[in-house]
Amino acid sequence: MPGPGVAAAALLALLVPAAGLGAGATDCDVSPGSRFDCGPERLLAREGCEARGCCYVPAGPGPGPPWCFFPRGYRSYRAENVTATGSGYTARLRRVAASFLPGDVGCLRLDVLLETPARLRFTLRDPARQRYEVPLATPRVSGQAATTLYGVQVNEEPFGLVVYRQRSGQVLLNTTVAPLFFADQFLQISTSLPSHFISGLGEHLTPLVLDTAWTRVTLWNRDMAPVPQVNLYGSHPFYLGMEDDGSAYGVFLLNSNAMDVLLQPSPALTWRTTGGILDFYVFLGPDPKSVVRQYLDVIGFPFMPPYWGLGFHLCRWGYSSTDITRQVVANMSAARFPLDVQWNDLDYADAKRDFTFNKRSFKDYPEMVQDFHRRGLRYIMIVDPGISSSGPPGTYKPYDEGLKRGVFIRNATGQPLIGKVWPGPTVFPDFTNPETHEWWHDMVKDFHDQVPFDGMWIDMNEPSNFVEGSQDGCPNNNLEHPPYVPGVFGGRLQAGTICASSQQYLSSHYNLHSLYGLTEAIASHDALLRVRGTRPFVISRSTFAGHGRYAGHWTGDVGSNWEQLYYSIPEVLLFNLFGVPLVGADICGFAGDTSEELCVRWTQLGAFYPFMRNHNDHGARPQEPYAFSPAAQAAMRSALHLRYSLLPFLYTLFHRAHSAGETVARPLFLEFPQDRNTWAVDRQLMWGAALLITPVLEAGQTKVSGYFPPGTWYSLAGDSTIHSKGQWILLPAPLDTINVHVRAGHILPLQEPAFNTAESRKKGMALVVALTPGGFARGDLFWDDGESWQTFERGDYTELLFLATHGAVLSQLLRASAHLDGVRLEAVTVLGVTSPPRQVLANGALVDDFSYRSDTQASAESPSVAAHVGAVCDQLVLSQCWTHRAAPSSSRAESIPYNAAPGLWLLSWLTGVTRAVYTGLALGILAQPPGMGETSSSSKRVKKDPSAL
């Protein structure tokens, strides 16, 4: 294979067609794991199978190899006229033997585009007929990459494409393994896989790593309470694969039709879709973080949420009045639980109709929301897409206006299709129609003028329908009954939704169904931006590729059980790979009764969901944090305080996601791709590169086993250090504890928690510095006003870089704004200093009030070889030095003298040693607000100006 960096001209020289195996090859000596199904649309007996020219070998019952499979060399398409173009090359594909499918396309056009050094795109289209293509904005590339990480080869007959990594020669995509099919309503292409590691292809209730033992994954958005092995709310036809050497690659099929993806043990993968075109992107990484970023370069980087959206959200179906809703907020305050956003389910609406409220039970609804605002809280309510159609003309503006403006999806007769959801008979807005966006904006504005809500919760937008298709049924045509129906729950495309043949502005619902939630999210995002003028906050149930540009996602109606608690981790991790970092599950579960222990453990894990909301069903037991015993409340309060203390770090991670295409919550293999032990870990998660979270996911456990990649890991609680060689460690985990470890080499910005983010943003900040054995650490902070639109794009933000090296911690202001004015650095904790410092300096001024501890021990047992768990630094105990586990104390405070150099401060210590294996130190340097005065007999008034970051 050519070496890396091959020029595009040299790459094209590789495109000489390879010799085919010849027509009529009927070799059936194919290993079971490499057999590709010749009867995708129905079961075939021997006679029918062999009539297709395929092999018939009965196998055992249950999932396994197909009985009817393609022989080697099965004839399909032949590649002709391979020609270089300015962007790559093109070829004509001609079918050389009739297929068994109706509507076979005899001639295809192949375009291969060398878009970037790490991104290849290829498409297969019908050159004689315009077919539906996904209306997703993707990068327009002129020309071609001069050098590439990939090479491409074409097989002439039977046609196949081979994509390989230049550096290693590893084949990433090889479509010669099975024949290509391209018919009007059935497209199929198969490929080998370089390893059994494949992750993605959402949304399903699965582990992080998909099973390649004859697994079928169906994509067709569906209102379905999450259970394994069924299609759920979203469609993300993207997968990330790992190679044996730790390199990573990704594949994205830009197609929104109903589809199956089949995995088999050879290993191999088959795409089967029911329409559109084949439009593939291949991402070369070479590391998994780069693969995700390259994918997001195509579908769009995530939106930046408002700061308040990262706080705690509380909801329940059953808050049936403003009195009850107000009481919930009062109870949260009385029990000292942080709360940023109060929600209401359908209870608020008049007869469950959008953009209305019940004038009896919610008579003071606008005043309630305004009162929440005065207390620093935000408010969100549910909005379903189904618009009630049963009222007399002139009684319901959303329907009357929508009918007048022609914004509703139409049935086969051209009339608005009528289904049924919560309000009864309903019509469905067509969000692919630009006029619908204007109508939606008008309805949002009208309601916001009455009730000043802060965000939108868009539910039921697969779209869900309580009758199959419509109240009048669906036509008997090929869109409702295609020749191939993927494994959708219910067995029919219209099951649980509207007719596939219904018409929308851009195409049929058959093509656009899985885009419904995305298009509603775009309309809602744009409406909120225009109405409120600040950063929109939208949470949606239904999603598609590119959704993260506009909205977040919650994982639907999960059950209140331990299995669903576990599955929430791979769900959160996968949606971060899909570019939807603002994601979380309903804490404590939605359906059924939770238990106290489950709710505590779920709250602890939920504190590390990027989107944190407790929500449950109206028939279930109450599960607000204050509804449990004092001990459970204390554990939940601790978890919430921990989250709130970490919000500056979390917000910075979201900034990186928005500006650079990074993930917020991430699987371990993203950070440690060379460590194969991390590849399948999905009972832990990381926040960025710095925090490792190890939750308890089983009942009755007071210890938990977690994998620690090689390196030094400090407990965020300050009670242990793990020096791991890459091992599983058994950690103590009493009910009031979730294990969180800081990776050596990182600096975390923290802030004192408060009842809500409006208050916490005014509190003092702190740093946790986790030194490597060489004494190095790095971190940063992104800070703006928390809600204005496009602060990063406009340059209206503050950014600080933190560096620790050679016994000093340095802060450098990279960009300044007024948003940090008045915020003080109040504590610095340095983990990993081996010897007691002889002196500590802050900007050259001697600091007397510090402490050093290395006497705290913690034991950790390993199922295999124990890692080294040693003494760790405790924090310096100084006045008003806070942590997530301790209230402010009342001993003496010192402020940090501010350096004359703008935006620069320096903290340093001298130990008398130049290099060591660090095990502990914590420093706290505090600034007391001017005029605070004496808080106890031992406190002193600060005499110097506070040090602003």
DSSP string, 612-643: EEE---TTSPP-SGGGS-HHHHHHHHHHHHHH
* pLDDT tens-place string over residues 446-471: 999 999 999 999 999 999 999 999 99
Provide the pLDDT for residue 15. Answer: 33
To 10 degrees, what angle do helices 562-577 and 288-299 make? 70
Mean pLDDT of 162-183: 98
Strands 234-242 and 543-544: parallel
In the predicted model, is pLDDT for residue 946 greater than 90?
Answer: no
In the predicted model, is pLDDT for residue 784 greater than 60?
Answer: yes
In the predicted model, is pLDDT for residue 879 greater than 80?
Answer: no
Answer yes or no: are the C-beta atoms of 552 and 536 closer than 8 Å.
Answer: no
* pLDDT tens-place string over residues 478-497: 999 999 999 999 999 999 99
Mean pLDDT of 515-537: 99
Q: Which residue has the tokens 């139409």?
A: 410
The CATH code that applies to domain 745-862+869-949 is: 2.60.40.1180
Cα separation, 274 vs 481, in Å, equals 11
Strands 215-219 and 198-202: unpaired
Which residues have a Cβ under 8 Å from the Cβ of 244 and sit 6 or more positions away? 194, 195
Provide the pLDDT for residue 930. Answer: 26
Provide the pLDDT for residue 906. Answer: 66
In the predicted model, is pLDDT for residue 174 greater than 80?
Answer: yes
User: Buried b vs exposed e over 669-679: b needs ≥16 C-beta within 10 Å?
Assistant: bbbbbebebbb
User: Two tokens at 755?
Assistant: 């009842």
- In Å, how far are 70, 95, 122 from 75, measured between CA atoms? 10, 8, 22
Provide the pLDDT for residue 49. Answer: 96
Q: Looking at 119-123, 506-510, 930-934, which range is the least confident one? A: 930-934
What 8-state DSSP symbol labels residue 34? G
Cα separation, 294 vs 345, in Å, equals 37
Q: What are phi and psi of 239, to 5 degrees?
A: -135, 150
Q: In one letter, which amino acid is 179?
A: P
Provide the pLDDT for residue 859. Answer: 28
User: Buried b vs exposed e over 508-533: b needs ≥16 C-beta within 10 Å?
Assistant: bbbbbbbbbbbbbbbbbbbbbeebbe
- The H or E element that residue 165 is part of is strand 160-165
Q: In one letter, which amino acid is 485?
A: V
Which residues have a Cβ under 8 Å from the Cβ of 716 and sit 6 or more positions away? 642, 691, 740, 741, 742, 768, 884
No. of H helices and E strands in the chain?
16, 49
Provide the pLDDT for residue 718. Answer: 79
pLDDT: which is higher, 839 or 902: 839
Q: Strand, helix or coil at 279? A: strand
Mean pLDDT of 442-448: 99
In the predicted model, is pLDDT for residue 923 greater than 70?
Answer: no
Which residue is catalytic, options 384, 459, 799, 849?
A: 459
Beta bridge partners of residue 459, listed in sequence order: none
Mean pLDDT of 639-654: 99
Provide the pLDDT for residue 26. Answer: 54
In the predicted model, is pLDDT for residue 943 greater than 90?
Answer: no
Q: Which residue has the tokens 């001990």?
A: 631
Q: What are phi and psi of 322, to 5 degrees?
A: -65, -35
**Segments of the chain assigned to CATH 2.60.40.1760:** 8-25+73-297
Nearest to 577 by CA among 686, 492, 488, 471: 686
With bands split at pLDDT 50, 70 and 90, how would you rate the model's confidence at 866? very low
Q: What Rg, from alpha-carbon coordinates, does the chain have?
A: 29
Through-space distance between the first and last CA atoms of the chain, rounded to whole angstroms: 54
Cα separation, 325 vs 336, in Å, equals 17
Which residue is catalytic, options 462, 520, 596, 784?
A: 462
Q: What value does the mean pLDDT of the chain take? A: 89
Provide the pLDDT for residue 27. Answer: 86
- The H or E element that residue 323 is part of is helix 322-334
User: Buried b vs exposed e over 16-31: b needs ≥16 C-beta within 10 Å?
Assistant: ebeebbeeeeeeeebe
Answer yes or no: are the C-beta atoms of 519 and 431 closer than 8 Å.
Answer: yes
In the predicted model, is pLDDT for residue 1 greater than 70?
Answer: no
In the predicted model, is pLDDT for residue 949 greater than 90?
Answer: no
Q: What are phi and psi of 565, to 5 degrees?
A: -60, -45
Nearest to 767 by CA among 826, 844, 701, 700: 826
Is 462 catalytic? The answer is yes
pLDDT: which is higher, 871 or 163: 163
pLDDT: which is higher, 893 or 122: 122
Number of residues in the chain? 949
- The H or E element that residue 574 is part of is helix 562-577
With bands split at pLDDT 50, 70 and 90, how would you rate the model's confidence at 41? confident
User: Two tokens at 9?
Assistant: 């001209």
* Topology (CATH level 3) of domain 8-25+73-297: Immunoglobulin-like (2.60.40)
Beta carbons within 10 angstroms of residue 130's beta carbon: 9
Which residues have a Cβ under 8 Å from the Cβ of 948 and sit 6 or more positions away? 820, 821, 822, 823, 824, 898
With bands split at pLDDT 50, 70 and 90, how would you rate the model's confidence at 905? low
Provide the pLDDT for residue 899. Answer: 31
User: Two tokens at 527?
Assistant: 């409406």
* pLDDT tens-place string over residues 907-922: 776 654 322 222 233 3
Strands 703-708 and 727-732: antiparallel
Q: Which residue has the tokens 């002709």?
A: 80
* pLDDT tens-place string over residues 802-832: 999 988 899 999 999 988 887 888 888 889 8
Beta carbons within 10 angstroms of residue 791's beta carbon: 21
* pLDDT tens-place string over residues 313-338: 999 999 999 999 999 999 999 999 99
Is 157 catalytic? The answer is no
User: Two tokens at 921?
Assistant: 């130190």
Q: Is 903 left (phi over 0), alpha (psi -120 to 50) or beta?
A: left
With bands split at pLDDT 50, 70 and 90, how would you rate the model's confidence at 838? confident
Q: Is 49 left (phi over 0), alpha (psi -120 to 50) or beta?
A: alpha
Provide the pLDDT for residue 832. Answer: 87
Q: In one letter, which amino acid is 392?
A: P
Cα separation, 888 vs 503, in Å, equals 62
Which residues have a Cβ under 8 Å from the Cβ of 118 and sit 6 or more positions away? 148, 149, 150, 283, 284, 285, 286, 290, 294
Answer yes or no: are the C-beta atoms of 684 and 713 closer than 8 Å.
Answer: no
Q: In one letter, which amino acid is 892?
A: R
Tally of CA atoms within 13 A in the half-sphere of 241 that contains its CB: 25
pLDDT: which is higher, 274 or 832: 274
Mean pLDDT of 686-695: 99
